[in-house]
């Protein structure tokens, strides 16, 4: 870890992600000389390549604006690089490197042939007009197109990038290359997208949570759930929880959280989806639409008593103290919808309290899994039916759960899902790398 820190100065998120994996891998490879001798972990923690580029665009007043864009291609040992694109002012190389590193393990866990990558720009979509967003997406793709391809690297959405942005980027890719291929996922249904891709991450996280509870002979009926975020992952996680009979009492954004003790309903969730996706409003306005709910400015929802918690907003949004509050209030299970939302101290609190704790690379893999299914449909030039896809998503999440149990079951039957996910993902990618020799 000293070497990782030295080679990646000023990249705290990346070092944190590697540390969390290394804690488990050191133990696993202790008596396995090949992984050691071939420096497999060190090689996975060194991206294959990072492309960094200038993105120029004109705002509506005619001012020239300059942003920085990246694509981190972390590892393609088991398939083409695959992972989302994030547009947010906090995006930098450290954040994208951690996300691409995590993605490598996550994609391996799905059982589908996908390597790990991630990209994005320090562009803030908030307050921008649709035309500004379109010009930015086109300019971003004007550089990115030469680094991606259906068998090379297949980006998708992430924070700040949804179906609208994917449409603008796909249109620009097609215009430049004249190729209609499955180069992006999360596309609209009219031009090669897959049914249930928008729902898949949130639904998958709830399926994984249900799998963990089932091991303890429990289910979601009547459970109180606390969720952070109010975007794609959070709203679809809420929807599936409500369908499974849970009472979801919070949602949040970067300004604070709403507490609705009566619980969300499908009508309320539909309102939030429209509010965030079309009106582009703040979650604070929920309390005007649904009196009985309260808004808590500048706070996170982790102090609200619950049985299960799903952090679905962003990295490091749940600290060691937050984890202690959740445990003290009786929370028995946590499923990470976001990537690395719990910091290292928080992970240690959950592990020592023996809380059922599913790391993002396992719990939120349903999104990229259905992206993988979108790639298969594009290759076949066919569209599969919703019922088939729903079943495949459930089966994939159950498979990930089994892999975590296989490598994570420890003393007294406690399943360390972090260890299980890290070791299972590492083994699959590492074994492929061993087969290739030193490359
Ligand atoms: N969209 C997908 O399919 C997948 C997304 N993820 C992860 O899920 C998380 C959420 O992504 P999406 O829902 O897709 O994005 P989104 O753009 O639809 O929503 C992001 C949400 O997080 C909130 N947020 C952002 N920064 C915040 C902060 N500092 N504090 C509190 N809230 C904040 C936003 O207000 C928004 O509600 C991210 O960590 C992403 O990497 C993981 C797997 C797949
Ligand atoms: O669907 C994809 O390729 C990307 C999903 C993603 O970015 C993630 O799993 O964090």
List, for residues 288-347, the tens digit of each pLDDT value: 999 999 999 999 999 999 999 999 999 999 999 999 999 999 999 999 999 999 999 999
Judge whether 45-180 and 199-363 match in fold: yes
Q: Give residue 70's pLDDT.
A: 98
Which residue ranges make up each domain of the chain?
Answer: 45-180, 199-363
Q: Among the bound ligands, name the one nearest to the CA of residue 234.
A: 1
CA 313 to chain centre: 9
pLDDT band at 228 (very low <50, low <70, confident <90, very high): very high
Q: Cite the DSSP H helix spans in 216-341.
A: 232-243, 266-277, 286-289, 320-328
384, 194 Cβ separation under 8 angstroms: yes
Q: CA 288, 278, 249, 331 torsion: positive or negative?
A: negative
pLDDT of 278 > 90? The answer is no
Q: Is 376 in the pocket of ligand 1 (CB under 6 A)?
A: no
Q: What count of other Cβ atoms lies within 10 Å of the Cβ of residue 353? A: 15
Q: Is 160 in the pocket of ligand 2 (CB under 6 A)?
A: no
Q: Give residue 430's pLDDT.
A: 98
Q: Given the CA of residue 106, which atom of ligand 2 is nearest to it?
A: 9
Residue-averaged pLDDT of the chain: 97
Count of H helices and E strands in the chain?
A: 17, 13
Greater pLDDT, 236 or 411:
236
Q: Is 84 in the pocket of ligand 2 (CB under 6 A)?
A: yes
Q: Give residue 280's pLDDT.
A: 87
Scanning the structure block, which residue is given the tokens 């492929």? 432
Q: Give residue 279's pLDDT.
A: 86
Q: Among the bound ligands, name the one nearest to the CA of residue 318.
A: 1
Average pLDDT estimate for 234-256: 98
pLDDT band at 37 (very low <50, low <70, confident <90, very high): very high
The H or E element that residue 334 is part of is strand 333-335
The phi, psi pair for 180, rounded to 5°, reads -105, 95
Complex-level ipTM: 0.98
Strands 333-335 and 308-311, by their bridges, are parallel
The H or E element that residue 163 is part of is helix 163-177
pLDDT of 406 > 90? The answer is yes
Scanning the structure block, which residue is given the tokens 């309903």? 265
Average pLDDT estimate for 236-245: 98
**Measured between alpha carbons, how far apart are the two ends of the chain, in Å?**
23
Radius of gyration (C-alpha) of the chain in whole angstroms: 21
CATH number of 45-180: 3.40.50.10860
The phi, psi pair for 322, rounded to 5°, reads -60, -40
Take atom 1 of ligand 2 and give the residue whose Cα is closest. Answer: 368
Q: Is 185 in the pocket of ligand 2 (CB under 6 A)?
A: yes
Instruction: State how far the alpha carbon of 211 is from the alpha carbons of 69, 107, 254, 330, in Å.
Output: 38, 19, 30, 19
- The tally of CA atoms less than 13 A away on the side-chain side of residue 378 is 26
DSSP state of 158: B
Average pLDDT estimate for 340-359: 97
Q: Give residue 16's pLDDT.
A: 97
Q: Give residue 274's pLDDT.
A: 95
Residue 161, beta-bridge partner list: 158
Q: Give residue 412's pLDDT.
A: 85
Instruction: State how far the alpha carbon of 100 is from the alpha carbons of 81, 93, 97, 103, 347, in Å.
Output: 9, 10, 5, 5, 20
- Give pLDDT tens digits for 46-63: 999 999 999 999 999 999
Fold of 199-363: Rossmann fold (3.40.50)
Q: Give residue 277's pLDDT.
A: 87
Instruction: State how far the alpha carbon of 185 is from the alpha carbons of 174, 188, 311, 375, 413, in Å.
Output: 14, 9, 24, 7, 39
- Give pLDDT tens digits for 140-195: 999 999 999 999 999 999 999 999 999 999 999 999 999 999 999 999 999 999 99
Angle between helices 232-243 and 197-215 (to 10 degrees): 50
d(CA 310, ligand 1 centre) in Å: 12
């Amino acid at each position: 870890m000293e070497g990782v820190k030295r080679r990646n100065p000023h990249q705290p998120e990346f070092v944190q992600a590697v540390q969390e994996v290394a804690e488990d891998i050191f133990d696993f490879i202790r008596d396995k000389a090949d992984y050691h001798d071939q420096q497999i972990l060190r090689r996975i923690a060194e991206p294959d390549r990072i492309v960094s580029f200038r993105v120029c665009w004109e705002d509506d007043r005619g001012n020239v604006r300059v942003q920085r864009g990246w694509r981190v291609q972390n590892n393609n040992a088991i398939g083409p690089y695959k992972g989302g694109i994030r547009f947010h002012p906090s995006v930098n190389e450290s954040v994208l490197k951690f996300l691409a590193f995590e993605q490598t393990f996550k994609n391996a866990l799905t059982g589908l042939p996908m390597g790990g990558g991630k990209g994005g720009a320090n562009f803030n979509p908030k307050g921008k007009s649709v035309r500004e967003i379109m010009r930015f997406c086109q300019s971003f793709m004007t550089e990115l197109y030469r680094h991606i391809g259906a068998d090379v690297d297949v980006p998708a959405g992430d924070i700040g990038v949804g179906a609208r942005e994917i449409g603008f980027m796909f249109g620009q890719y097609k215009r430049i290359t004249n190729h209609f291929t499955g180069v992006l996922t999360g596309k609209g249904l009219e031009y090669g997208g897959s049914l249930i891709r928008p729902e898949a991450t949130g639904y998958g996280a709830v399926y994984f949570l249900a799998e963990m509870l089932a091991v303890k002979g429990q289910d979601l009926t009547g459970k109180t759930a606390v969720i952070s975020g109010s975007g794609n992952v959070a709203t679809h996680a809420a929807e599936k929880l409500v369908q499974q009979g849970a009472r979801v009492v919070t949602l949040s954004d970067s300004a604070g959280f709403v507490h609705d003790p009566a619980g969300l309903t499908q009508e309320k969730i539909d309102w939030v989806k429209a509010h965030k996706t079309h009106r582009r409003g703040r979650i604070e306005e929920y309390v005007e639409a649904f009196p009985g709910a309260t808004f808590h400015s500048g706070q996170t929802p982790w102090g609200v008593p619950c049985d299960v918690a799903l952090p679905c907003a962003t990295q490091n949004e749940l600290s060691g103290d937050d984890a202690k509050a959740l445990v003290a209030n009786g929370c028995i299970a946590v499923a990470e919808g976001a990537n690395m939302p719990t910091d290292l101290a928080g992970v240690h609190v959950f592990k020592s309290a023996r809380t059922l704790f599913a790391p993002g690379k396992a719990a939120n893999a349903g999104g990229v899994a259905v992206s993988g299914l979108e790639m298969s449909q594009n290759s076949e030039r066919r569209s599969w039916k919703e019922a088939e896809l729903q079943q495949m998503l459930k089966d994939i999440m159950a498979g990930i759960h089994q892999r975590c149990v296989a490598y994570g079951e420890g003393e007294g039957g406690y399943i360390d899902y972090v260890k299980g996910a890290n070791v299972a993902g590492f083994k699959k990618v590492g074994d492929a790398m061993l087969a290739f020799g030193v490359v």
